[in-house]
Structure 1
Amino acid sequence: MFQKVLLIQLLLLHSATQSQPETSARCHEDAQMMCPVPNIESLDFFSITWHKLSETKKRLAVIKWKDNVTTLFKNMNRSLEQRFGEKYSLLMPRVTPEDQGTYECEITANLGGRNQNFLVQLTVQECSIHPETTTMTPESNVTQSIPLYSEEDVPAWCSGVGYVAVGLTKIALSLISVWVIEAVGKRSSR
Structure 2
Amino acid sequence: MKKMIRTVLFVQILSSQLLMLHSAVHSLSASCRGDVSLPCLEVGSDFVSVTWYKQRTHQRKYGILRWSSKDKSTPEFFKSNRSVHYDKDYSLLISAVTPADSGTYECEVGARVGGRNKQKEVKLDVSACVTPAVWTPSVRTPVTPVPNKTSDLCRLQVQELPVLWSAVVYGTVGLAKVVLSIIIVLIIRCVQTKSSKRQQQKW
TM-score, length of structure 2 as denominator length: 0.50
Distance 1:19 1:149, change over 3 A: farther
Percent of aligned pairs sharing the same letter: 35
1:122-143 CA distance string (max 9 Å, x none): 110111123xxxxxxxxxxxxx
Q: CA, structure 1 residues 48+19, in 2 after alignment: closer, same or farther (shift >3 Å)?
A: closer
Q: How does 1:77-96 map to 2 (within 5 A)?
A: 77-78=81-82, 81-96=83-98
The Cα of 1:64 is off from its aligned counterpart by: 0.5
Aligned-partner Cα distance in 2 for 1:124–1:21: 15
Q: Distance in 2 between matches of 1:24 and 1:121?
A: 8
Aligned length: 113
Q: Which amino acid aligns with 2:112?
A: N
Provide runs of 4+ in structure 1 moved above 3 Å: none
Once the 2 structures are TM-superposed, how far is the Cα of residue 112 of structure 1 from its aligned partner?
2.4
Aligned to 2:166: none
Indicate conservation of the 8 Å contact 1:45/1:107, yes or no.
Answer: yes
Corresponding residue SS for 2:131:
coil
Q: What runs of 5+ residues in structure 2 fail to find an aligned partner?
A: 1-20, 137-203
In the alignment, does 2:76 pair up with 1:71? Answer: yes
Q: Assess if the C-alpha contact under 8 Å between 1:23 and 1:31 holds in 2.
A: no
What root-mean-square deviation, in Å, do the aligned CA atoms of Structure 1 and Structure 2 show? 2.4
| Alignment match of 1:117 (pick from 101, 119, 125) | 119
List gaps (5 residues or longer) in structure 1: 1-14, 131-146, 151-190
* Shift in Å, 1:62: 0.6
Q: Which of 31, 40, 43 is the matching residue for 1:26?
A: 31
Distance between the aligned counterparts of 2:76 and 2:85, measured in 1? 9
Letter of the structure 2 residue corresponding to residue 64 of structure 1: R
Partner of 1:104: 106
| Contact kept? 1:82, 1:92, Cα under 8 Å | yes
| Structure with larger Rg | 2
Higher relative contact order (CA 8 A, sep 6+): 2
